[in-house]
Chains A and B, each alone.
Chain A
Amino acid sequence: MTSPSTGGEASPAADLAGRPPFAAGHFPTMGLQLDASKLGLWLFLASEVLFFGGLLTAYAVYRANHPDLFRYGHYFLDWRLGALNTTVLIGSSLSAAWSVRCAQLGRRRGLVVTLLVTLALASVFMAVKYGEYSHKLHHGVGWGLAYRPSREILAALPAALRAAPAPEHAGTFFSLYFLLTGLHGIHVLVGMGLYAWLLRRAGRGDFGPGYYVPVDVVALYWHLVDIIWIFLFPLLYLV
């Protein structure tokens, strides 16, 4: 998509002479190329919505049948860290949207800065996530049967919760927690790889008002990753 196509049997070089750089041979105009790329990405985002829709359905089924597990489990999660990560992701979405604006307006320096900020905020998100995961696993708060909470972490629960007997199969909540946040985390890591790639290309001066497809579609993907977290944060940390 990004390199001039070699399509066409009779002297492709002559056909492509005078066309903008990064124009794909099979699109008559750059406008069509942009529209087709965007539509393709929206179809991919639709499949992502259905993918996380399935996972959230699993959440809904367990929650409908065992609401007590979820009320109990969420006390093990620190809502302040979740809120911090929500803020970090909203900030990264802002800088991602701003990077598209910079590319469209041909502001090369601004583009590099906003891409860097997005990448940095994504790293902050993953660092917080790493802290949360290692704290949980250190205290035996694992998924499914690996849920064997340490005495310290149980002592940190609210008094009312400690007085009542712990619900059976509390590990189920953490199976869902690790599955949902883990798959979301993989999406963040993929996004970081894409932003590193964009940064390299932006530094080289590939992008401008005439060609900003990659900046645009990666930002769309990044916003979807943000939207997924917008749902995960309250469902896992707050209620």
Chain B
Amino acid sequence: MKEHVVPEPARDPEDRTPHAVPARVLVGTAATLLALTATTVASSRMDLGAFNVVLVLAIAGLKASIVALFFMHLRYESRFQTMVLVCAVFFAVVFAGLVVFDTTQYQSGIAAQSARTRAGAR
């Protein structure tokens, strides 16, 4: 699919013929997404413990990338738009990651305190 990449500076700014994504790429993208949905559902039928969440998140990330690359044309656009998306995702992940690391730090203290409260109530 390399031939669809149109380098940005090569285009004449006055006469830009729109780049239409080929029909077979669109249909192929949708078919891949449906197949990955089936994979997600199948993976959740197996009991993999905590790894289930990791697996469905990985598949969801792959599906999201496919949507962004082909349906949202990032594959064919200037890098700048990809950078905007990647930055947003990066900071969302940093935020979520730090918050989760932080909250798990206090759980032993919270559990001990609730046990004390329960004992006191009795």
A interface residues, tally (CB under 8 Å) = 56
Question: Does A53 contact B96, Cβ atoms closer than 8 Å?
Answer: yes
Question: Does B56 contact A238, Cβ atoms closer than 8 Å?
Answer: yes
Q: How far is the CA of A29 from the CA of B72 in the complex (A)?
A: 23
Q: Which chain A residues (87-139) contact chain B, with CB distance < 8 Å?
A: 87, 90-91, 93-94, 96-98, 100-101, 104-105
Q: Which chain A residues (54-88) contact chain B, with CB distance < 8 Å?
A: 54, 56-57, 60-61, 63-65, 67, 79, 83, 86-87
B122, chain A: closest CB distance, angstroms: 17
Q: Quick one: given A64-B103, A90-B33, A230-B60, are A57 and B95 in contact (CB under 8 Å)?
A: yes
Question: Does A94 contact B30, Cβ atoms closer than 8 Å?
Answer: yes
Chain A residue numbers with a CB within 8 Å of B44 are 79, 234, 238-239
Question: Does A223 contact B92, Cβ atoms closer than 8 Å?
Answer: no
Q: How far is the CA of A171 from the CA of B72 in the complex (A)?
A: 37
Question: Does A239 contact B56, Cβ atoms closer than 8 Å?
Answer: yes
Q: Quick one: given A42-B85, A83-B41, are A104 and B92 in contact (CB under 8 Å)?
A: no
A184 at the interface (CB under 8 A from B): no
Chain A residue numbers with a CB within 8 Å of B64 are 227, 230-231
* A contacts, CB < 8 Å to B: 29-32, 34-35, 38-39, 42-43, 45-47, 49-50, 52-54, 56-57, 60-61, 63-65, 67, 79, 83, 86-87, 90-91, 93-94, 96-98, 100-101, 104-105, 209, 212, 219-220, 223-224, 226-227, 230-231, 233-235, 238-239
